[in-house]
Structure 1
Amino acid sequence: MAPSAAAPSILLLLLFLALLHPAAAAAARHRHRFSASLHAASPNASEPPTTFFEVDRPIRPPRGGAVSGPCSTLLLSGTFGATYGRPPVTAAYTPPACLSGGGALALAVLEWSADCRGRQFDRIFGVWLSGAELLRSCTAEPRPNGILWSVSRDVTKYAALLGEPGEVAVYLGNLIDKTYTGVYHANLTLHLYFHAAPPPPPQQQQPADLIVPISRSLPLTDGQWFAIQNATDVQSKKLSIPSNTYRAVLEVFVSFHSDDEFWYTNPPNDYIQANNLSGVPGNGAFREVIARVDGEVVGAVWPFTVIYTGGVNPLLWRPITGIGSFNLPSYDIDITPFLGKLLDGKEHDFGFGVTNALDVWYIDANLHLWLDHKSDKTTGSLLSCDASGLDLNVNSEFTGLDGQFVTSARRHVSATGWVKSSYGEVTTTFHQRFSYENSNVFRKNGTVQIVNQTIDAKSGIFVKDTSSVLLSGESHQVFPLYLYTGTSEKVGDEYSLVSLVEFGINEKKTSGGKLGFFYSSLKNAQSARGTMRVKKNLVVSGLGKTHQVFKYVGTDGCYFRDVSSRNYTILFDRSDDSCSKGAYGGSSAKLKDQPARRKLLVKKL
C-alpha cells in the first residue's frame, strides 16, 4: 500500500480528530485522543449520574494528638461553558476565620467537585491562589445522563498563602456547540483541620514562610501557566527573594497537550520525512523539562506519562480514570545551594524549557522560601555545581512504515552550597539522576504501534551543619509504560481500534536526621484494554476494561485498594487501611508484567 494511505493509526485518526470540531483541533489533533461524544451505546438520560474517580490514598489528618475540624469554606462556585479563550473565573479570597482561632494548622485540603451532562472533550484546568498554582487537573468526560467527580489535594504546604488575603482563579477552557453540549459546574472548597492540643514534634520540615508564584499575572484569556511551544522556547519570570532566606524549593507543575500529548509515541523526524507523513507529530519520543536560574541549569523534571480521560480509548477511563489525570503531580527541585547567588537583593530570571518540545506544554512553578525571622540578612555561597548535559541516543531502523526506534537518555544534576543564618552555617547538597529507555515499534504497514518505556528518576538531599547531619533523604521513582494500539484498514467509512495500556508509579522515599525518620513505599499499577468500532466519525460499539492496584506503606500509615471496572460498571472494589500483611489482597494485588500475558490480552481484543 502506498505510504500516503498506509497508516490509519497515524493518518486516518489524525484526520478523524481534525473533523471533530474545528475550534478544538489545536487541543485534539493527536492520533490517540478521542472526544467524549464517542459513546459505545447511549445510556438512558433518565438514569442517575455516574461517579468517576481516580484511585489515590485518602487524605487524613496526621496521626498523634487530637485534631479538630474540618472548618470548611466555599472558595468559588463556577459554570464553565463557552470559556475557551476567555478570562479565568475569579473570586476574592479572605482567610477563613478559623485560621485565626489560635490552633495550629494540622491539614489543609482543597476539594474540587463537579458535574457535567451531555457530550464534551476532556479539558485541562488549573486553580491558582494569588498567582500560585494549587491544583492542575483534567475534567472527566460526560455522559447524557450526567457524571459527578471530585478531586482532593493536600495543600497544607501552602499555609503561608492561605493565611493572607488574595484572589482565587480557575481557568477551564471549554467549547460549546450543537454537538459538544457539556457544561461543567464546579465548586471549590477549602477544608481546614487544627491541632486541638499542642502538636507533636514535626517529623518533617514545616511549610515555607513565603511562596512566590512563577507564573503569568492576571488579567489573561488563558491559564496563568506559561505555554512552551517548541524546543527553543524558554518562558521565564524575573523576581527577587528576601535577603533573610535560608532555604528554597522550586515546585514545578507540568502538563503536555496537542502535538505532544502523547510525546512518548512520537516517531523521529526522519521517519516522518521518509514516509511523507506531513502533519504527524515528530521530534522523537523523549522530553524533559529544564529549570534554569539566570540561564544556569538548576534541575530537571522527567514527567510521569499522564493519560487524560479522553486518551487512547475513552472507554478505558470510565469510571476509573488514569493515574494522575484528576490530580496531576508536581515536582520539587531544591535550589538552596544556589542561594548564595540570589541573596543580593536583585531580580533573577527563573525560566523553563522543554527538550524536543512540540506545541504545547503548560508549565509554571511556585518558589517555596523559608525565612530567618531572627535575622535581616543571610549569606551563602555556591561551592560546586554539575549539570554536564543530556546524554541522548536514538537508534532507528525502518523499511517503509515498519520498523523500530530505540531511545535512551541519561542526565545528572548536582549542586552544593552553604548558607549562614541564625541557625548557623548549613551546607546543602541536592542531586538528581535520571535514566530513560523507550522502544517504539511500528508493524503491519504502520497500523500497529507498540511502546515500551521506563523512566527512572532519583533525587536526594543532604543537609549538615558544622557538627551533625540535619537531614538526609532520597526519593526514587520508576514510571513503567506499555502501550499497544492497532487499527484496521478503513472499509468505507468504518474502522476499528484495539488498545492495551499498562503503566504506573513505583516510588520509595526515605529521610532521616534531627527532624526524625520517614519512610514510604508506593506501588500504583493500572492495566486497561479495550476496543472501539468507529463509523462516520462516531464510535458505534466498544469495550473498556480497567484493573488497578494501589499499595502504600509508610511511617505515616498504610493504604491498599484493588479495583476493576468494565464499561462504567465496577466489577469489584477492595480496600484496606491497616498495616497488617494480610490487608494487601494476596495475588490479586499483582499486575504481571510479562510479554506472554500482553500477547494473550491483545489476541483476546
Structure 2
Amino acid sequence: SGASRSCTAEPKATGIVWSGKKDVTQYSSLLLMNKTQTLAVYMGNLVDQTYTGVYHVNVSLYFYPAVEKVNLGSGIGSKADLIMPFSKDLPLNDGLWYKIENSTDIKVKEFEIPQNVYQAVLEVYVSFHENDEFWYGNPPSEYIIANNLTTLPGNGPFREVLVTLDGELVGAIWPFTVVYTDGKSHKLSFSVTNALNVWYIDANLHPWLDCKSSKTKGKLLHHSIAPLSVSSVIDVEGLNGTFVTKATRSISSTGWIKSSYGTITTKSTQDLSYRNSMVMAKDGNLHIVNQKIHFDDRVHSKMPGFNLKPKKSLKRFVFNIYSDYINQGNGTSLTVANVTLGFNEKKFKDKVRNWQKGNGFMVVKDHLVVNGVGNTQQIYKYDGFKSCYYRNVSSSNFTILYDEIGYTCSRRAKHHLDYGP
C-alpha cells in the first residue's frame, strides 16, 4: 500500500540522476507490523533507438523515534490503526496501479472493514499519461471532427476522478471522509470523467479503531450530490479556435458514529469550480491554455466533552501555457514554450504557496532534439502555526543558478488566496 508518483527525466547520453523524498509517517501502522511484507516499485521504461537504458534504483527507509499524544479526530495528520490498500493484487510485473483506459472504464474492489472503526479517511493517488498526459490542453471533440484530426487527443480539457461507494458517489478528485462500520462487504470504485487512455489510480483507506469496543454504531443522516454542471463555448474556424469550459461540483454528507469515546456527528462538504480557456491559432501551431480550479473541502465534527477542531482546506490551482510550433523546413522545427503553474492552500492556521515558472525553446530535426534551452524557477512558501519554510530555486538546462532557503515566518494578514512570488 502507499504510492509515490514519479516521471522519469529525459536523460543525457551520459545518463542522469534524480531523487525524491516522501514522508511516510502516516503509514507507520503498516510499517511496524510484525510480519514479512512486500515493497513493490514500478517504473515504466521507454524502449527505442534513442532512450533505451537501464534504471539503477536505491530505496531507503528511515525510522525516527517519536512519542505521539492521543489526539482524537486529528484526521490523517495522526497515524491510523490500519492501512487498507485499493490496487491490483500481487504478484505482478507491471505495477499495482489501476489503469483507467476511457471514460466508461470503472475499477471496482470489494472490501470489509473492522466493526470497531470510528473514523476513516481515503487518500487517492492519480497519475495521467499517453493521450491524457496533457489533458488540460486537449481540444473539444467538435474541433477534432471538424478538421478530421484523427491522431490528436480530444474530449476537451475537463477531467474529474470519481470515487463511489456501493454505487453512490462519495468523492471527487480530492480525499474525503466516509465511515461505514457494519462489518458487511462493500465495493469501492474509481472512474475518470471524459478520460482517454491512460490514468493510473490507486488508494489507501486509513481506519482508526476503537480499542475499547468490539463494535461501533453509525448512521448516514444525509447525503447530497449536486449534479455535475459543465458548460462549453466553442468557436471554430478551420484549424483555429477558441474554447471556454466551466464546471462545478458539490458533495455533502452528514452522519453520526457511536464509540467508547461518545457519539461523534460529522458533516463533510466538497465544493469545486473549474474554468479552462483555450486558444488554437496559426492553423493549430499556437496553443494557449489558461486554467483555474478552486476547491473548498470542509469537515466539521461534534462530540460532547471534546473540542474537535474543524478540518478546512481551501485550495486554488492555476495553470497557464503558451506553446508556439514553427516548421523551419528540411525536417526541422522550432518550439517555444512558456509555462506557469502553482497552487495555494489554506488549512486551519497553515498556508502553502507553490509557484513555478518555466520557459525555453527546442529545435528538433528528424525527431531528435538538436538544440534547446530550458529555464525554470520555483518559489515555495509554508507559513505554519509553529514553523515556516521558504525555498527559491532557479535553473537553466542542467545548472542550478541559485537556491535560497529561509525559515522566517510571514505573519501579514491575508483574506484571499493569491499567486506570484
Q: Which residue of 2 aligns with 1:46?
A: none
Residue-by-residue CA offset, 1:411-456 (whole Å, 9 max, x unaligned): 0011000001101111011111000000010111111010000011
Is 1:192 the equivalent of 2:63?
A: yes
Q: Which residue of 1 aligns with 2:54?
A: 183
Shift, 1:488, TM fit? 0.9
Higher relative contact order (CA 8 A, sep 6+): 1
Contact 1:408 1:438 in 2 (8 A): yes
Q: Which residue of 1 aligns with 2:282?
A: 444
Residue-by-residue CA offset, 1:187-220 (whole Å, 9 max, x unaligned): 111111113xx55675945311011111110122
Is 1:294 the equivalent of 2:166?
A: yes
SS in 2 for 1:158: helix
Structure 2 gaps, min length 5: 413-418
Q: Which residue of 1 aligns with 2:416?
A: none
Q: Which residue of 1 aligns with 2:392?
A: 562
Q: Which residue of 2 aligns with 1:427?
A: 265
1:219-298 residue pairs with structure 2 within 5 A?
219-298=91-170
Question: Please, which of 34, 41, 45 is the counterpart of residue 170 of structure 1?
Answer: 41
Shift, 1:241, TM fit? 0.7
In 2, the alpha carbon distance for the partners of 1:416 and 1:580 equals: 36
Residue-by-residue CA offset, 1:8-52 (whole Å, 9 max, x unaligned): xxxxxxxxxxxxxxxxxxxxxxxxxxxxxxxxxxxxxxxxxxxxx
In 1, the alpha carbon distance for the partners of 2:210 and 2:375 equals: 53
SS in 1 for 2:27: helix
Contact 1:488 1:497 in 2 (8 A): yes
Shift, 1:491, TM fit? 1.2
Q: Report the CA distance shift for 1:445/1:177 in structure 2 as closer, same or farther (over 3 A).
A: closer
Residue-by-residue CA offset, 1:354-403 (whole Å, 9 max, x unaligned): 00000110001101001111111111100001112201111101111112
> One-letter code of the match for 1:480?
V
Q: Which residue of 2 aligns with 1:537?
A: 367
Question: Please, which of 141, 154, 157 is the counterpart of residue 23 of structure 2?
Answer: 154
TM-score (norm 2): 0.93
Query: Which aligned segments of 4 or more residues in structure 1 are displaced greater than 3 angstroms?
Result: 175-178, 198-205, 466-469
Q: Which residue of 2 aligns with 1:509?
A: 347
In 2, the alpha carbon distance for the partners of 1:581 and 1:425 equals: 37
Is 1:382 the equivalent of 2:220?
A: yes
> One-letter code of the match for 1:179?
T
SS in 1 for 2:5: strand
In 2, the alpha carbon distance for the partners of 1:528 and 1:388 equals: 37
Q: Report the CA distance shift for 1:498/1:460 in structure 2 as closer, same or farther (over 3 A).
A: same
Question: Please, which of 387, 400, 408 is the counterpart of residue 238 of structure 2?
Answer: 400
Q: Which residue of 2 aligns with 1:521?
A: 351
In 2, the alpha carbon distance for the partners of 1:438 and 1:177 equals: 35
Is 1:361 the equivalent of 2:219?
A: no
Q: Which residue of 1 aligns with 2:188?
A: 350
Residue-by-residue CA offset, 1:159-204 (whole Å, 9 max, x unaligned): 1100113111111122445432332111111111113xx5567594
Shift, 1:143, TM fit? 1.7
1:211-226 residue pairs with structure 2 within 5 A?
211-226=83-98
Give the percent of matched residue pairs that are identical in Structure 1 and Structure 2: 48
Aligned residues: CA RMSD: 1.9
In 2, the alpha carbon distance for the partners of 1:424 and 1:156 equals: 28
Contact 2:3 2:125 in 1 (8 A): no
Shift, 1:468, TM fit? 5.2
In 2, the alpha carbon distance for the partners of 1:421 and 1:415 equals: 19
Shift, 1:157, TM fit? 0.6
In 2, the alpha carbon distance for the partners of 1:452 and 1:334 equals: 31
> One-letter code of the match for 1:493?
G
Shift, 1:240, TM fit? 0.7
Residue-by-residue CA offset, 1:83-137 (whole Å, 9 max, x unaligned): xxxxxxxxxxxxxxxxxxxxxxxxxxxxxxxxxxxxxxxxxxxxxxxxx123222
Question: Please, which of 311, 329, 334 is the counterpart of residue 177 of structure 2?
Answer: 334
SS in 1 for 2:327: coil
Contact 2:182 2:217 in 1 (8 A): no
SS in 2 for 1:190: coil
Q: Which residue of 2 aligns with 1:133?
A: 2
1:7-18 residue pairs with structure 2 within 5 A?
none
SS in 2 for 1:563: strand
Contact 2:380 2:390 in 1 (8 A): yes
Contact 1:142 1:182 in 2 (8 A): no
In 1, the alpha carbon distance for the partners of 2:375 and 2:211 equals: 55
Q: Report the CA distance shift for 1:275/1:432 in structure 2 as closer, same or farther (over 3 A).
A: same
Structure 1 gaps, min length 5: 1-131, 302-330, 511-518, 583-589, 593-605
In 2, the alpha carbon distance for the partners of 1:581 and 1:464 equals: 30
In 2, the alpha carbon distance for the partners of 1:283 and 1:176 equals: 29
**Structure having the larger proportion of residues in helix:** 1
In 2, the alpha carbon distance for the partners of 1:182 and 1:556 equals: 45
SS in 2 for 1:147: coil
In 1, the alpha carbon distance for the partners of 2:380 and 2:316 equals: 15
In 1, the alpha carbon distance for the partners of 2:411 and 2:208 equals: 39
Q: Report the CA distance shift for 1:260/1:175 in structure 2 as closer, same or farther (over 3 A).
A: closer
Question: Please, which of 436, 449, 453 is the counterpart of residue 291 of structure 2?
Answer: 453
> One-letter code of the match for 1:231?
S
Is 1:548 the equivalent of 2:378?
A: yes
TM-score (norm 1): 0.66
* Total equivalences in the alignment: 411
Shift, 1:139, TM fit? 2.3
Question: Please, which of 76, 81, 98 is the counterpart of residue 209 of structure 1?
Answer: 81
Q: Report the CA distance shift for 1:200/1:239 in structure 2 as closer, same or farther (over 3 A).
A: closer
> One-letter code of the match for 1:335?
V
In 2, the alpha carbon distance for the partners of 1:265 and 1:491 equals: 26
> One-letter code of the match for 1:414?
S
In 2, the alpha carbon distance for the partners of 1:355 and 1:573 equals: 39
In 2, the alpha carbon distance for the partners of 1:292 and 1:140 equals: 34
Question: Please, which of 3, 8, 11 is the counterpart of residue 142 of structure 1?
Answer: 11
